Chains A and B, each alone.
Chain A
Amino acid sequence: MLYAEALTLRQGGRMVSRDLSLAFPRGAITALVGPNGAGKTTLLRALHGEHPLAAGRIALDGEALNPTTRRRWQARIGYMPQESRAAAGLTVLEAVLLGRAGTLAFRLPEAALREAAALLEEFGLLDLAGRDLTTLSGGQRQMVFFAQCLARRPEVLLLDEPVSALDLRHQQTLMRALRRLTEARRLISVVVLHDLNLAARYADRIGVLAEGSLRVLGPPAEALSAPLLSAIYGVGVRVLWGEDGHPMVQALV
């Protein structure tokens, strides 16, 4: 279990989040949603150990995060930032390998190569292994970076808006893969999403953040309530029930 207790986060002198407490269980996807500036990315970075805590503590299976344990902490986490830069001159396989950059010896061990290739195969990208990263589509690139994340064999996945720039098909592909892997490997997955319906479909629990505080944390049916969403987004909202049993959020115009 990943715990965050009474977190207070500051950015540039401004208070971003106050007194946040959340728990993220294993084998489940927790989606973080909310308006821009709600502090979702900052929270994610704090969970990664990158953003200093003004107050509160974070612990994974009882082991607390502090400056001395940071390196070990970060080795257990796969963090996927929003940015999607690709450098020409790197192949897809090399990009995945870099997930384990900290542990690689000078000569690439056969095992590392095979593992990276296996990850690509799992995502159906193996035939792209030798291609230059910049020749891939946005959706394919995100999948590669996702694979890179997983190459670290993390216990925790922190994904910051992994599908915002992707088309419909690739959104589904990535989220399905995330679901599959979270369950199969009993990962703790925390995903920041803008698309409420995507969150409703794939997340086990949704945490709604607004202005730095947690409004609700629970299963989609519970968390996505029309009055709450209207209040925090400032626009009229209607929640419907889809045929597959997931709630669907619609903005009222």
Chain B
Amino acid sequence: MSAAITAAVAAHRARERRRLAMLAATAAVLAVSLVLDLATGPALLPLREVVLALSGQPGADETVSVILWSLRLPMALMALVVGVALGVSGATMQTLLDNPLASPYTLGLAAAAGFGASLAIQYGGWGLPPVLAVPGAAFLATCLACAVILGVGRLRGMAANTVVLAGIALLFLFHALQSLMQFRASPEVGQQIVFWLLGSLAKADWHNLAITAAVTAIALPLLMRHCWALTTLRLGEARARALGVPVAALRLGAVALISLMTATAIAFVGTIGFVGLVAPHLARLCIGEDQRFLLPLSGLMGALMLSSASVLSKVIIPGALVPVGVVTAVIGVPFFLWLILARRLPG
């Protein structure tokens, strides 16, 4: 084996190690964000108390413990799980559909969830307790939207543009239906709908955190199994097919899996936009198109975005809580524009 070959191989391994380091660094920043998320909140608890309560020491104030363990901790962890789900979903969608604008939001999945939730809120959950009915309806509505998108896509051999256009059409439809619900609703119901639409981590508790985490934990490895196929798709559909990637089947399966993951996440936190769109681009800037690294980093970036948005939502107005969906959009948009202008994002 020639020395040049060994050098090239070594260079690649070094590249892989750098990417791994990038993942580790992001995870570290995420940990910091998590701590900040736990330390901030409307109750304006002193840091000492927070640390005491977290460490489980006997001197901890019981009220602080309650706030930390049943309110802040589930919310902070939910930010991580939902961020991962949205980031990975966005990255996979952008690769699968060959479209830098694809995301769970732009394909109408979030809007469908919003409509489902509005229905449940308006009709009082049809007798079921709201804590079951609202997420359940949101979830079912998203699955319905996914089925429509995939159905239409299949009629055209799962062509990327068809899927994207079907998704956008559903986005408009469900937005209009949502608006109709809000218009017809009585004021109290209307308020609830609006706050669901703005997205909020406040409804996170250990139960729905467990469900969301479980679904994400199952879906992620299933997606990662196809990371080489996804990387190949980046070379174009024709070349990927030439290399034996079953493009249509992959699209069908992956979109279904992604819908499941995002439906679960959105069902509990409402529509949080922009994370699924921006996190993958951020990750791509740092780590390239090797999906073995891009998918995990998109997940970590998504988690970081949502976690820091959660922190910001609490510190912007001390003592009050800005809905996190508002923060991700208002901070995310200028940041994204800066990215586009400064770094010339790949199209």
Contact = CB atoms under 8 A, between A and B. Distances in A.
In the complex, is A directly touching B at CB under 8 Å? Answer: yes
A104 interface: yes
A86 B288 CA distance: 13
Contacts of A126: 4-5, 8
A101 B243 contact: yes
- By CB atoms of chain B within 10 A, which of A86, A89, A121 has the most? A89
A6 interface: no
B290 interface: yes
A98 B232 contact: yes
Given A98-B228, A98-B243, A102-B228, A91 B9 contact: no
Given A50-B241, A117-B9, A89 B234 contact: yes
B244 A71 contact: yes
B242 A79 contact: yes
Nearest to A118: B5
B8 A120 contact: yes
B205 interface: no
Interface string A51-91: 00000000000000000000100110001111101111111
Interface residues of B, number: 34
Interface string A4-33: 000000000000000000000000000000
Given A75-B244, A90-B231, A93-B12, A83 B238 contact: yes
A250 to B, nearest CB: 34
B289 interface: yes
B228 A104 contact: yes
A93 B288 CA distance: 13
A82 B9 CA distance: 29
A101 B244 contact: yes
Name B's interface SS.
helix
Interface stretch (A106-114, A198-206, A218-226, A239-247): A106-114
A80 B242 contact: yes
Given A87-B235, A90-B288, A121 B4 contact: yes
Interface of A: 48, 50, 71, 74-75, 79-83, 85-91, 93-95, 98-99, 101-102, 104, 106, 108, 110, 113-114, 117-118, 120-121, 126-127, 129-130, 145, 148, 152
20 contacts: A48-B242, A71-B244, A81-B241, A81-B242, A87-B289, A89-B287, A90-B289, A91-B15, A91-B288, A94-B12, A94-B290, A98-B231, A102-B228, A104-B228, A108-B16, A114-B5, A118-B5, A126-B8, A130-B12, A145-B239
Interface of B: 1-2, 4-5, 8-9, 11-13, 15-16, 224, 227-229, 231-232, 234-236, 238-239, 241-245, 284, 287-290, 292, 346
3 closest Cβ contacts across the A-B interface?
Answer: A85-B236, A89-B289, A89-B288
